Structure 1
Amino acid sequence: MHTLSHTYFIAKALGDIDVSFLEEAIAFPPKKVQTSLPKRLAAACLCLLIGVASLCTISFPAEENPASIDSEASPTPTPEPSQSVSGVTPPAPQLSLAAGENADMMPFFIYQGRTYLYYDCVPSRHLALGEKAGTATGLIDEWTPQDGYVNLAGSVTGDFYPVAGYDPSFLLAMPQTDGTMELFVAQNGYTLQTGADLFETRLSVLETCTAVTWETWDSWYEEKGDIHTLSTENTAAFSSFLGVLEQSPCCLTESIPLIDGAESVYDFFFDDWGLYRLYIARDDGITVELCLFEGGYVMFSGLQSVCVQVPPDDFSALLALLS
């Protein structure tokens, strides 16, 4: 099993920082920890120590996506990122490091053309696994050449399995020696049209929800741990919101209109538009974490390249439950 931390993976910046790298980096705040749950990674990215920690996207060259290269069999085609009336295709994670940088990579592995990124670590007692799907080799680091991004390669090592009740093309688990399981979410290789394609088909949130807790964005950012539990009298209203969420359209996060002065959606989305973090406990011990942003945008923290935009009135009704 791999020995990477379950929290942020801080990289050491050595030498001068390439300006183009900084311009492309996702500007996440330095402190983003859910205190009542195991710490989870904030994005599919590397973390660089440049005064404060900043997150950037994982970058593979578009002309030859290494996640689709299989050294043992024919590669599974990886759709190009797109957004149309038929839905959105999440882009393959991109890894971009300036020359001379030294970094610990985020936990991920490649399987059947998909890049699976670490999401959470949970107790294994309620999860049933299928037959072993493969073994991640852990052969990738920040210096791995493009032809090293082959099937089963990654930054972690270990056997991984499908989880009962989940599509293995979306979620796989890697058992740990301490009795827990690390969950990995596929970042590409499928198309989402509405929230139902994510929250119903792949996460079954409405059918399996046992409890809902939440905190303000400030509480999460400042690690205050000011967690609230959704009251019983608001359960029906929240279920109604989940129904609306499943009917609402998906969009690529990068397609969200920019505000004045912003060069990237990440310049303002996480710093200025964050409102609440919701933690939906499933009956199998997995927690589905939702990020709520101004504009009615809702994001599953395990797939940050995609958002669902909820109608204004329904979004306001949810905020009223949390205020």
Structure 2
Amino acid sequence: MKKYQQRPSVKSILIVVAVMMSIGIFTLINYVPQDSTKDNQDENVEIPAIQLPKNNTNADMVGLIVYNGKIYTQTNTKINDTDAKALKDEKLGTTKGNIDEWSKQKAYDKELASTIGEMDVYSVKGYDQDFRLMVYHMQDGNHYAEFFENLNGITISSGEDIFGKLNLVGNIHSVQWRAFSDWDHDNENYKPIFDMDALNTFLKELNKTKPYLREQKSDPINSSRNNEEYRELALKLHDGSTVKLTLLRDGYIYYGIADVYFEMNEGVFSMFWNQLK
């Protein structure tokens, strides 16, 4: 069962643990917002950059790759090795696998520094390289593929700045959902959604959603971990990737470990929520 703890203060937010099960190598890293404020005039939201730790002893672990001055972390979008092969684009290099819990600060400054050992890194066909990379690797006779995304150190003004990069609109093969208890216990008890008109309206509205920084006292997910208010939505795209979103009954949407959530128009959200019962 997944364990929950109260979110730490904004000045000491730690990245959620993301485990590289097949690799067994992790890194220590802090998520420290610096001047992470909402601009009241234009309603932009600054998602704080990941700050590499000066002292590793108090940090959580996350799988990451450093590339072109950006830090890419593991994501909630998954893909199997067969479909991943078709999405491989330009090879960007091979990760160094030089970071672990004992690494010094200078280890993070190297291009393609990572926590995942030595793995080939590719750009992904159809996706912005500044947003998403993919590792593709042969291990124990099997291919291994995983996406890494840059969702930190950026400024956004609407859901389009995140959801638009996922290529959701007009690109859905199938969609399923499950309630909180099934997600919490890792039960694959998904239920299909057949109303594609309702889904397409919802996906278009995602791009218009309003972003908010997640904070300890105001984050609505803190009081919504129950079967009445919580849904996980699994969207399988035509390219074989599966995007997972968290939806809360009051109109809030979350993606991955990004330190931000989004609020949707009440009427559109309520219409789609009725499909999740």
Fold-level match, TM-score > 0.5? yes
Name the CA shift for 1:46/1:284 in 2 (closer, same or farther; >3 Å): closer
Match of 2:113 in 1: 153
Cα distance in 1 for residues equivalent to 2:65 and 2:254: 23
The one-letter amino acid paired with 1:138 is G
Structure 2, unmatched stretches of 5+, are 3-7, 20-27
What is the CA distance between 1:297 and its match in structure 2? 1.1
Which residue of the other structure, out of 180, 203, 206, is the alignment partner of 2:166?
203
Residues 101 and 132 (structure 1), Cα distance of their counterparts in 2 relative to 1, 3 Å cut: same
User: What is the Cα deviation at residue 172 of structure 1?
Assistant: 0.3
Per-residue CA deviation, residues 192-229 of structure 1 (Å, 9 max, x unaligned), is 221122222x1110121111100011211122322100
1:253 matched residue in structure 2: 214
17, 27, 30: which one aligns with 1:45? 17
Unaligned runs of 5+ in 1: 1-7, 9-19, 27-42, 48-56, 64-79, 259-264
How far apart are 1:168 and its partner, in Å? 0.8
SS of the residue corresponding to residue 157 of structure 2 reads coil
Look up the match of 2:5: none
Matched position secondary structure for 1:268: helix
Q: Aligned pair 1:295/2:250, yes or no?
A: yes
**Does the CA-based 8 Å contact 1:116-1:186 persist in structure 2?**
yes
Distance 1:45 1:95 in 2: 15
Question: What is the distance in 2 between the residues matched to 1:275 and 1:97?
Answer: 37
Query: Quick check: 1:107–1:118 contact (8 Å CA) kept in 2?
Result: yes
Q: What TM-score, normalized to structure 2?
A: 0.77
Structure 1 counterpart of 2:158, from 163, 188, 194: 194
> Which portions of structure 1, spanning 4 or more consecutive aligned residues, are displaced by more than 4 angstroms?
23-26, 60-63, 94-103
Deviation at 1:130, TM superposition (A): 2.2
Per the TM alignment, residue 317 of structure 1 is displaced from its structure 2 partner at its CA by 1.6
What is the percentage of aligned positions where both structures have the same residue? 25
Check conservation: 1:162, 1:172, Cα contact below 8 A: yes
Residue 13 of structure 2 contacts residue 32 of structure 2 at CA under 8 Å; is this kept in 1? Answer: no
- The one of 175, 179, 203 aligned to 2:143: 179
Q: Which residue of 2 aligns with 1:16?
A: none
Q: Measure, in 1, the Cα distance between the counterparts of 2:207 and 2:234.
A: 17
Deviation track 1:75-97 (CA, whole Å, cap 9, x = no partner) reads xxxxx644332522322235669
- Alignment correspondent of 2:22: none
Q: d(CA) in 1 for partners of 2:243 and 2:112? A: 26
Q: Quick one: which amino acid aligns to residue 140 of structure 1?
A: I
Number of residue equivalences:
251
Which among 197, 204, 214 is matched to residue 243 of structure 1?
204
Distance in 2, matches of 1:185 and 1:138, equals: 18
1:321 aligns with 2:272: no
Aligned partners of 1:135 and 1:160 also within 8 Å: yes
SS at match of 2:156: coil
Question: 3-state SS of the aligned residue for 2:175?
Answer: strand
Letter in 2 for 1:113: G
Letter of the 1:320 counterpart: N
Q: Aligned equivalents of 1:81 and 1:114: distance in 2?
A: 18
